């Protein structure tokens, strides 16, 4: 079985509780400390086995193989990936079975993470996730006053649109936001705006 590690919690005697996003489920597994274990980190894609454990009520993580990518050794790209993938844990931690959309989305991001600005990739993926979950407000109606936004458009958590005077956040060009929401593209945004969108995304899915 394959999946992405979306959370790691250290417990007694350096044992770990590892949460893995697989093709169609979120698995919480226990890994006992031992010198022969392969190294695992948040964000790694791994091949693994899940076995019932006599020492814990949580199934045991066994036979771990890291399925590495070329950008795993690039610190900045890996840190951005870990920040991005941690959001999946916070968003899906109370779910057991999931749609294959989430795994496929991470796969598509991982494939191009070394080719482009990873923050742009993450923001575009986030807009796809919001669209999939029916939470993308592409009508550009202000969440606060419920009036159409013609100018001074800003975004808050979950990319909810608002008037600047309703949310007091950085403004974006209306057409650029429409392009992001409809085409899932950040091409119209400059790097400073991408940084702002990245920070909004990190507030949570």
Secondary structure (DSSP) of 118-157:
HHHHHHHHHHHHHHHTT---TT-B-TTT--B--SSEEEEG
Whole-angstrom Cα distance, residue 33 to residue 61? 11
Whole-angstrom Cα distance, residue 144 to residue 80? 31
Q: How confident is the model at residue 82, as a pLDDT?
A: 98
Q: How confident is the model at residue 168, as a pLDDT?
A: 85
Blockwise average pLDDT, block size 10, the chain, 205 residues:
96 88 96 72 94 80 91 95 97 93 98 96 98 96 94 95 92 96 97 97 93
Q: How confident is the model at residue 52, as a pLDDT?
A: 82
186: three-class secondary structure by DSSP: coil
Whole-angstrom Cα distance, residue 45 to residue 25? 15
Torsion of CA 181, 185, 190, 191, to 10 degrees: 110
Q: How confident is the model at residue 54, as a pLDDT?
A: 67
């Amino acid at each position: 079985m394959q999946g992405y590690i979306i959370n790691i919690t250290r417990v007694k005697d350096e044992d770990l509780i590892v949460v893995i996003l697989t093709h169609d489920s979120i698995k919480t597994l226990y890994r006992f400390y031992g010198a022969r274990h392969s190294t695992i980190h948040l964000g790694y894609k791994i091949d693994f086995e899940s076995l019932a454990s006599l020492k814990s009520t949580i199934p045991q993580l066994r036979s771990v193989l890291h399925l590495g990518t070329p950008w795993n050794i690039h610190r900045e790209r890996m840190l951005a990936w870990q920040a991005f993938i941690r959001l999946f844990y916070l968003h899906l931690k109370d779910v057991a079975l999931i749609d294959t959309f989430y795994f496929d989305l991470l796969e598509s991001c991982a494939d191009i993470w070394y080719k482009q600005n990873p923050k742009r990739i993450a923001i575009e993926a986030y807009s796809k996730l919001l669209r999939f979950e029916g939470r993308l407000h592409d009508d550009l109606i202000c969440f606060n006053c419920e009036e159409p936004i013609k100018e001074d458009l800003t975004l808050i958590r979950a990319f909810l649109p608002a008037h600047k005077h309703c949310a007091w956040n950085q403004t974006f060009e209306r057409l650029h936001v429409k392009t992001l929401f409809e085409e899932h593209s950040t091409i119209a945004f400059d790097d400073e705006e991408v940084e702002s969108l990245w920070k909004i995304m990190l507030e949570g899915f």
